[in-house]
Amino acid sequence: MKQILGLGCGNQMKRIFGWLGLLLVAGAMSPLSGLAQTIHGTVRDSMGRAVPFVSLNLSRQGAIIAFTTTDTGGAYVLRLPGGLAPGGLYLEARCIGYNQQTRAVVTLPSTIDFVLGVSASSLPSVVVRNNRPVLRTSGDTLSYRVGDFSSAQDRVIGDVIKRLPGISVASDGTILYNNKPISSVYISGDNLLDDKYTIATNSIPQDIVDQIQVIDNHQPIKVLQNKVTSNDVALNLTMKKTGRIHLLGQESIGAGLPGNYDVNLNALLFKDEYKAINYLKGNNTGDDLQRELVSHNAADNEQRIGNELPATLLSLGAVNDPALSRQRYFFNHAGMLNANNLVNLKSGWQLRLNAWYLHDRQQQDYSQQTTTFLPGDTIQYREVQHNQRNPDVLHTQLTFNLNKPTCYFNDVLLMDDNRGVNYSHLNTNGSLLEQVFRDHSMSLSNECNWIGTVRAKNIIQAYSYISRWAEPEDRTIGPSYNAELFNHGMSYMQLVQHVDVPTWYMNNYVSFKIPGDVLTKSFRAGVSVQSQRLGSGLSLLQSDKTFTPASDSSVNKLSWVRKKGYAEAAFDVPGEKLRLSLSLPLIFQQLSYTDTGYALDKGLSRWYFNPQLSGKYQTGLEHFVSFQYSYRNETGGIEDVYQGYILKDYRTLYANNADLTLRQDHRAALGYNYRQALRLFFFSITMLYHHVVANNIASSVITNSLQQRVVMPYRNSMDSRTINGFVSKYSFRLHTTFSGDVQWQNSREVEIQNGALLPFTTTAITLGLNADTKLNDRIGFGYHATGIRTDSHSPAVASADRIDQLVQQAALYYNPTHDLQFNLSGEHYFTGRGGNAPLTYFFADARVKYHVKKWRMDWQLDALNFLNVRTYDALYLTTNTLTSSSYTLPGRIILVKLLFNL
Amino acid sequence: MKGILLSMLGIALCVSGAWAQQPDVSLLTVHYKFEHVRDTNNRDKPYTEHMVLLVGQRSGVYKSGEGGLQEQVSTNPDGTTRRDTRRLGSPAEYYQYPNEKRLVRKDMIFQSEFLITDVLPVMDWRIKGDTANLGGLHCQKATTHFKGRDYTAWFCPDVVVRVGPWKLNGLPGVIIEAHDSRNEVRFIFDGITKSGATSILAPTKGVKTSEKEFDRLLETWHKDPQAFLNGMAQGSDRPAPKIDVKPGSGAVINNPIELPETK
């Protein structure tokens, strides 16, 4: 009986605990039903005889919450945990030799008698295996044991994660659990990297990780736990003991032909009080190091902060990347020093430094032919480009964090300095041009968030964000580019475009939350101010080295101030069955922008209401329905109102002559998510509807040498519907994770080209299939296929375009001995467009790795693209434009690597 | 490929009222990888052993799965027979009878067998909502404190026998995995197989003793083996065997499974 009492005490339980305990100590086994919540009764067989030693298990949603056994007289008393409601409770009687019987518990306390029939079989079907993968669930946490899914050739934990049933990894490294992007990857519960988790998944050795845990409804802020709902899914990596004690490092040094190098030196530490991922990497084998620095939740972060910044305004020209995996086409000379260090102090404070510096020299050779189909006309461009980009990326982030059940503090000081000098030799429609583009973005920001409790349980929050950002851009094109247009037909040296948008931004608010039994009410009030200046000029460097303005309408001196005051009421229901979150913000926005050069002095003051509702209803222990609706009023930014022309690239002149863009954005989503964790089966389906109404529209005037974009005040709308399905299952029989995904997306929008209003419908269907087998420790096999069909159609143009793409990847792993590993992989690309001969490409890679015991080192020989494919041609279809491009590829690389561990 | 073997154990039972009289035989064998950090200065190298729990209809026996006593018989040059015995694995066997609330431990010191009969320890289990699939069996988590350690156990409600590895017992299903909070004592699930109908009748052969007395004898054996053998020979017809004690660096045990309660 002792164990039943120990299950927990409600208030009622506590009150009667004293004398109930006394009775129990006296050994009273007599029914106490009148005193506490109990279920009692007897168990007899069909002959009416008492059945002793029958197990009686009280369960809810398939999990036992209390149990007892019958005494020698067949009687039982089951004492229940305090505060238990009768709904959804079942009592089952189990005994070997008898049929199992289950009864619903309708009232409490109650008397339930069982009559059990004799059964022939005694024990259930039993699987006689031991080395099967195991998933464990604990509330919102699902745990994968790494050893069950890893194979000998896996190097880092990211190699294992992409093979886990229920998890998929997008091409940019974003990890999705049952098709939902995760918020972060924690390391033994510590947040070292925020959403830049590719740094961790690409560097933590898989053999030091014990478990990969998926945490659903993850609320990282302890003060808010069980009070404010979170739909986030986070991953946590738990380390083996070996990984928690020593400094670790997986080092590799490689050199090869033709003139290639690949170096990766790292030092990792995962102690409870100190965690570090520090490394130095460099290569010219096409491994893009910037892909490790991707912020996977950038859109969410931007929305949280509320500072809308214009993207880089200038470019060297629109260059599509080939639809190959990046390593296949990327020419680089990259080096990166990356340091991520976290210290947990005894006082509960956590200090963190994330800093990196990256330098790269990227080259690209391509030629392109662009065909635009217009009603009654077809326009073609031909270009040959040789581009070189030299990015220098410096990032420093300092974080101070305190996360206690009563108090939360987080301060992030961020400094970014990204600069690049980029060159392009260009041959466009027969004229030879040189372009130089200098781009330098700098930002400094501080985000501070404090949350504390007052009067026992109420929560108070203060938030402050301040930032300064600037990105001077300068681009020169010469000689004598489009002299007809820019210099009355006279030759000149360079066309110089300069633009910069220095920005100040701050956002401050206070909030007060009142948690209740069912509902947490939050009230928030704040102000934000954005102050910008857009300065730009297009000038000519004449042959006599003097500067003259290119035209009188290509100078901008635009000032912009956006002030917002907002008040918000929000309601959170963090229930077990139903989780709801409703936020009702009321915003007053005051905008003003002036440019004396164009006699522009405008303002806009408006109230906005941007409600948002999201929720999750648990239809069972492992399945739920989720829904979301949001309505947002969006106002364009400074890049929507400048009046002077900016030559964005050598083909695009851009100016605005309409009012500020106002958009109303509706989003609705409905999803169903199902899993059977113990059977390793996952399934989800999501439907999304997105509707945007805007008060103006971008219009393009296309001529043979320039494309001029002007914004026209026509009200228009864009609709998009998406259905997304995902299924993943581990087959115990085949030792294989199978997964598949399908997406159907249909979008309708309107474009104006050469004065004609063109509605466009684009439908894209994507199908993905994956199978990953770890047959045993010696043989493994992986197959991935992605097919995309894109149909683009406009009723105004007779032609409808369809592009089919299919990418198949297969890999075979074979380890004949413990010390020898072979890996052979291939990628097949198919691109087809109705009426044309399809393009097919095949790439193959091979790898041999040999472990030298005496040296405790591995030798690795890599043959990348050993079939030596050196050019790639592709077709791209976007609305009514067809682009045919040809790229130079790096060709075969043979690399010898020496690998060793610290 | 070893493949997956689904074995349907259809055991026809003759259910009369006479439960206790029926000799219980094993139906299933649960395999464990037992790990015990005996020496806290050497945590990287815990003692490990393959252990098995033979599960019957209402009882279980937990013992080594290493093969037990191995005997090699050879003939010496002088014509006499030479018998070399080697024990693989630990000698202790734990017989659990939950319905009778009885625990019988059979153990050995050198060649002497001992029987320790005791009340089956009662454990204050707290059932958790966590579930897992271990070897195809649906399991649930429970925790308890026992003999100085906090244990986490995974039990299988589908196998309704309240037994487990070592002395662990009392959950509404067989305990198929358990470990203490410091991961110093671990019974790691290593498979479940059909069992060859071995009897789980409590052994009767052996010197009946108490746990305290047994521990004292074991200590004697470690300190002075000859004294132990002489003691054992008293009351029997045979003289005590003479042995040569080879002093060696025995394994350090500074972290026994059962710890004193610190309160």
Q: In Å, how far are A186, A340, A348 from A196, measured between CA atoms?
A: 11, 11, 24
**A97 vs B contacts (CB less than 8 Å):** 13, 15, 57
**Are B124 and A97 an interchain contact pair (Cβ–Cβ within 8 Å)?**
no
Contact B160 A69 (CB under 8 A): no
Residues of A with Cβ-Cβ distance to B159 under 8 angstroms: 123-124, 126
Range in A204-218, A302-316, A736-750, B211-225 with the lowest mean pLDDT: B211-225
Are A413 and A354 a contacting pair, CB within 8 Å? no
Q: What is the pLDDT of residues A620-642, one digit of tens each?
A: 878 899 999 999 999 988 988 88
- The CA-atom distances, in angstroms, between A869 and each of A364, A809, A865, B257 are 16, 16, 7, 64
pLDDT (0 to 100) of residue A843 = 94
Distance of CA A179 to the CA centre of its chain: 10
Instruction: Name, in order, each residue with C-beta under 8 angstroms of B16's C-beta and a sequence gap of 6 or more.
Output: none
| A5-20 average pLDDT score | 41
Distance of CA A441 to the CA centre of its chain: 24
Q: In this structure, which long-range contacts are made by residues A534-537, counting pairs with CB atoms below 8 Å and at least 24 apart in sequence?
A: A534/A499, A534/A500, A534/A501, A534/A558, A534/A560, A534/A638, A534/A639, A534/A642, A535/A498, A535/A499, A535/A500, A535/A501, A536/A497, A536/A498, A536/A499, A536/A500, A536/A642, A536/A644, A536/A646, A537/A496, A537/A497, A537/A498, A537/A499
Q: Where are the alpha helices (DSSP H) in B81-180?
A: none
Structural Rg of chain B based on CA atoms: 20
A-chain residues near B160 (CB < 8 A): 55, 94-96
Average the pLDDT over A549-555 and give the result.
Answer: 85
Nearest Cβ partner for B6 among A53, A125, A130: A125
Range of weakest confidence among A83-87, A185-189, A243-247, A588-592: A83-87
CA distances (Å), origin A825, targets A102, A816, B213, B230: 54, 17, 66, 71
pTM: 0.74
- Please tell me if residue A312 touches chain B, with a CB cutoff of 8 Å: no
pLDDT value at residue A704: 59
Six-digit token string for B251: 């394994």
What is this model's ipTM? 0.79
Please answer whether residues A314 and A475 qualify as being in contact, where contact means their C-beta atoms are separated by less than 8 angstroms: yes
The label of the residue with tokens 């290569």 reads A283
Q: Compute the average pLDDT of residues A268-272.
A: 91
pLDDT at A30: 39
| pLDDT above 70 (res B233) | no
Distances (CA, A) of B186 to A211, A265, B182: 17, 36, 9
CA-based nearest residue in chain B for residue A139: B130
| A699: β partners | A710, A752
In angstroms, the Cα distances linking A683 to A623, A728, A744, B75 are 9, 6, 17, 68
Answer yes or no: do A126 and B17 touch at CB < 8 A. no
**pLDDT for the residue A15:** 46
Distances (CA, A) of A738 to A169, A774, A809: 14, 12, 15
Render pLDDT for A386-436 as a digit per residue (tens, 0 to 9). Answer: 899 999 999 999 999 999 988 999 999 999 999 999 999 988 777 788 999
**Cα A307 to Cα A431, A439, A501, A506, A795, distances in angstroms:** 41, 21, 13, 8, 39
Chain A residue whose CA is closest to B27: A123
Query: DSSP character for B203?
Result: P
The average pLDDT across B227-240 equals: 68
Contact B127 A7 (CB under 8 A): yes
Q: What is the model's pLDDT at position A835? A: 64
Question: Beta A362-374 vs A503-515: how paired, if at all?
Answer: unpaired
Strands A110-111 and A38-45: parallel
Residues of chain A contacting residue B137, judged by C-beta atoms under 8 Å apart: 126-127
Q: Does A129 touch chain B (CB under 8 A)?
A: yes
Instruction: Please report the pLDDT score of residue A766 as a whole number.
Output: 95
CB distance from A3 to chain B under 8 Å? Answer: yes
Confidence at A504, pLDDT banded by 50, 70, 90: very high
Q: Does A258 touch chain B (CB under 8 A)?
A: no
State pLDDT tens for residues A775-800. 887 899 999 999 999 888 877 666 66
Chain segment A864-894, per-residue pLDDT in tens: 999 999 988 876 666 677 778 888 898 899 9
Q: To the nearest whole angstrom, how far is the Cα of B175 from the nearest Cα of chain A?
A: 14
Residue A399 pLDDT: 96
Query: Exposure string (b/e) for A238-260, b if CB count within 10 Å is 16 or more?
Result: bbeeebbeeebbbbbebebeeeb
Closest CA to B174 of B198, B207, B140, B133: B140
| Residue A755 CB burial class (10 angstroms; 0-12, 13-18, ≥19) | exposed
In whole angstroms, give the CA distance from residue A210 to residue A188: 10
Q: Which residues of A touch B161 (CB under 8 A)?
A: 96
Interchain contact, A128 vs B130, CB within 8 Å: no
Q: What's the mean pLDDT when you consider all of chain A?
A: 86
Strands A623-635 and A662-676 turn out to be antiparallel
Check A138 against B129: CB less than 8 A apart. Answer: yes
Rg of chain A (C-alpha set): 32
pLDDT of residue A389: 92
The H-assigned helical ranges of A735-853 are none
Determine, for residues B5 and A129 on separate chains, whether the beta-carbon distance falls below 8 Å: yes
Of A510, A502, A444, residue with least CA distance to A473: A502
Answer whether residue A359 shows pLDDT above 50.
Answer: yes
Question: Which of B7, B15, B50 to mutate to probe the A interface, most A CBs <10 Å?
Answer: B15
Residues in B touching A3 (Cβ below 8 Å)? 123-126, 144, 170
Instruction: Please report which helix (H) or strand (E) contains residue A459, including its range.
Output: strand A458-470
Please tell me the number of Cα atoms within 13 Å of A865 on its side-chain side.
22
Calculate what percentage of chain B has a pLDDT beyond 70: 75
Neighbours of A454 (CB within 10 A): 9
DSSP A473-492: EEEEEESSTTHHHHSTT---
Tell me which chain B residues have a C-beta less than 8 angstroms from the C-beta of A65: 127, 129
**Mean local confidence (pLDDT), B153-181:** 91
Rounded-to-integer distance, Cα A101 and Cα A119, Å: 11
Enter the DSSP assignment of A326.
H
- CA B40, B43, B49, B53 dihedral sign is positive
Show residues of chain A in contact with B163, CB under 8 Å: none
Portion 727-756 of A in contact with B at CB < 8 A: 732-733
Asked if A27 reaches chain B (Cβ–Cβ under 8 Å), the answer is no
Q: Give the residue from chain B lying closest to A128, CA to CA.
A: B193
Instruction: Please give the Cα distance from A225 to A234 (Å, whole number).
Output: 15
- A132/B8 touch (CB, cutoff 8 Å), yes or no: no
Q: Helical H runs in A330-415? A: none
Q: Which residues of A touch B152 (CB under 8 A)?
A: none
